[in-house]
Amino acid sequence: MIVVHIDQIVFHVYEFSHFLYINNHQTLNAKQIQDDLLKEILTLNANTEYLYRFLHGSSDKELFKKHVPVVSYDDVKPYIERIANGGEPSDVLSGKPITGFLLSSGTSGGKQKIFPINNKFFEDMTFIFALRSQIIFRHIKDVQEGKAITFLFVKPQPTTLSGFPVSNALTKNKQAMYCHLLCGLVQRDEVVSLAAAFASSLVGAITFLENYWKEMCSNIRSGHVSEWISDLSCRDSVSIILGGPNSELAELIEKECNKKSWKGIITRLWPSTKFIQTTVTGQSAQYIPILEFYSNKLPLISPSYVSSETMFGVNVNPLCKPEDVSYTFIPTMSYFEFLLADEGNNDEIVDLVNVKLGSYYEPLITNYSGLHRYRMGDILQVTGFHNSAPQFRFVRRKSVVLSVNVEITTEEDILKALNHAKLVLKSSGLILMGFTCYADISTYPGHYVFYWELKATNINDTVQLDNKVLVDCCCVMEESFYPLYRALRGKNGPVGALEIRVVAQGTFDSLMEFFISQGASVSQYKPPICINSSEAVAVLEKNVIARFFSDKSPLLGSELRY
């Protein structure tokens, strides 16, 4: 059995470009395809230990809906672990042979999970990758032949006897990142796009470049790769790409990187870049301003909604604004059901084609590798239909909330508040490079604590922390929270003043390294919006350089939300 992260499945995306475009047949016949797919899964899995308990060998859709329970990870974990660790056969869960396991990033839902996979998963992944490339080629001309600098961070994953990854080769990742960027600089004229699964990786790559461009220029000038790149085959390949000394190119890159501001650095270093392909929806939306800054507002394309559990869908309108992105569900991937998540939720579950425009749902998935009616923990909103296949906006992770009393502040509320604060920061020449937060209830009244890593817009300037600006940021965030928060936050109320703790530069890299040391994948890594691990808080705490508190109670609004 192999255990991998989703990003370790590498496809030669562009090789698939000649076939497959969004298949009208699939979106026109979504209902029939979904019914047939469920029938096939139930027939395949009818005699698995898991399903037999509920259906006694039947593959009837109505019985499935009536008897198979809606489950979360902890419900299926014992079954998964029996196969993964106990060496029991696949048919504990799945009629198709399980060929490996995928490790979820563990940073979106808080804890790491492993999921069984089989060949169907790989086929679906291939399809989605080919499909999303095709969609982009339809919208952006002349990029099919160019090169994409893609940050995938494939790494060797050592495993324990039972097959689990035990550590991460951060040094190797650093070497790979260095070589990758160096080759990207040498081939700068051929590069048409930059890509990474999630935006934080892309921002991380540019930060890496900030730290290493001088050394890279010296490698280009001399035609020799730095000695600390110890992987011999990597050295050889990069040396071939370097192709000998090139002082003209070194000077050109130096000139661009030496400029006071790194505004537009992506297009300055790679002048033929036409788009950036990376997820900037959900929690990754926080990176939109910084990516727009680095890229001179190139199109930011969020291509797909994908997880370790299943592939969901693609963005068929890739040039839309990041905030308007919706994903069209592909009915051949898994059997999708939707649990209504509107306020006053009544546990109503509907099929893919029966979701209602504007409503909020949590997807439940039934897949080919043994998950049945599995709760994804994501909240989506229906924004439209492509033929009969619905399109969804990613709203938030369900579990990500801050609360110190009866108020509930969601991931979406937090991101909105940060957008307000970023405007205040912008006017004082600062950029927010990373953040996370937690509800501190160790003292009364409890309060929200935000950890912020800041950077000056002008790359050579040091960060000046102006008390008034940072206190203002605390206040605008509180003002933007919903009325119940503001009511509770009133004088002597049960919610205390919001606090910003500014951390030293590089702290969020250390946080990422901490999560990676716990098994998270580099390219799937999504900095947690809220943090609940005391070890992770400790990483942040030891880097705190200043603290600021909101200095006034926010204004009250009219309506209250519980």
Instruction: Please report whether residue 104 would count as binding ligand AMP according to CB under 6 A.
Output: yes
CB of 404 to ligand AMP, least distance (A): 24
Rounded to whole angstroms, the Cα distance separating 133 from 314 reads 10
Nearer to ligand AMP, 24 or 72 (CB): 72
**How many helices, marked H, and strands, marked E, lie in the chain?**
17, 22
Instruction: Please report whether residue 326 would count as binding ligand AMP according to CB under 6 A.
Output: no
Residues 79, 305, 338, 508: which binds ligand AMP (CB under 6 A)? 305
Provide the mask over 519-538, with x wherever binding to ligand AMP is found by CB under 6 A and - wherever it is not: -----x--------------
CB of 282 to ligand AMP, least distance (A): 3
Rounded to whole angstroms, the Cα distance separating 377 from 160 reads 29
Residues 91, 337, 378, 472: which binds ligand AMP (CB under 6 A)? 378
Instruction: Please report whether residue 302 would count as binding ligand AMP according to CB under 6 A.
Output: yes
Instruction: Please report whether residue 202 would count as binding ligand AMP according to CB under 6 A.
Output: no
**Three-state secondary structure of 360-385:** EEEEEEECCCCCCCEECCEEEEEEEE
Rounded to whole angstroms, the Cα distance separating 358 from 378 reads 16
Rounded to whole angstroms, the Cα distance separating 394 from 305 reads 8
Nearer to ligand AMP, 27 or 279 (CB): 279
Neighbours of 450 (CB within 10 A): 23
Provide the mask over 6-25, with x wherever binding to ligand AMP is found by CB under 6 A and - wherever it is not: x-------------------
**What is the b/e burial string over 167-192, where b = at least 16 CB atoms within 10 angstroms of the residue's CB?**
ebeeeebebbbbbbbbbbbbebeebb
Q: Contacts by 421-425 with C-beta closer than 8 Å and gap 24+?
A: 421/473, 421/476, 421/477, 422/289, 423/476, 424/469, 424/472, 424/473, 424/476, 425/454, 425/469, 425/473
Amino acid found at 361: Y
Nearer to ligand AMP, 13 or 376 (CB): 376
Residues 131, 182, 225, 376: which binds ligand AMP (CB under 6 A)? 376
Shortest CA distance to 474 belongs to which of 412, 404, 535, 551?
A: 551
Instruction: Please report whether residue 516 would count as binding ligand AMP according to CB under 6 A.
Output: no
Provide the mask over 379-418, with x wherever binding to ligand AMP is found by CB under 6 A and - wherever it is not: ---------------x--x---------------------
CB of 156 to ligand AMP, least distance (A): 19
Adjacent-strand bridge partners of 56: none
DSSP class of 438: E
Nearer to ligand AMP, 90 or 281 (CB): 281
Residue 263 contacts residue 293 (beta carbons within 8 Å): yes
CB of 196 to ligand AMP, least distance (A): 12
The region of 120-128, 247-255, 303-311, 471-479 touching ligand AMP under the rule CB under 6 A is 303-311
Nearer to ligand AMP, 209 or 306 (CB): 306
Nearer to ligand AMP, 365 or 484 (CB): 365
Q: Which parts of 404-463 fold into alpha helices (H)?
A: 411-426
The region of 300-308, 403-411, 433-441, 503-511 touching ligand AMP under the rule CB under 6 A is 300-308
Amino acid found at 443: T
The region of 88-96, 103-111, 231-239, 442-450 touching ligand AMP under the rule CB under 6 A is 103-111
Binding site for ligand AMP (CB under 6 A): 6, 104-105, 108, 279, 281-282, 302, 305-308, 376, 378, 394, 397, 524
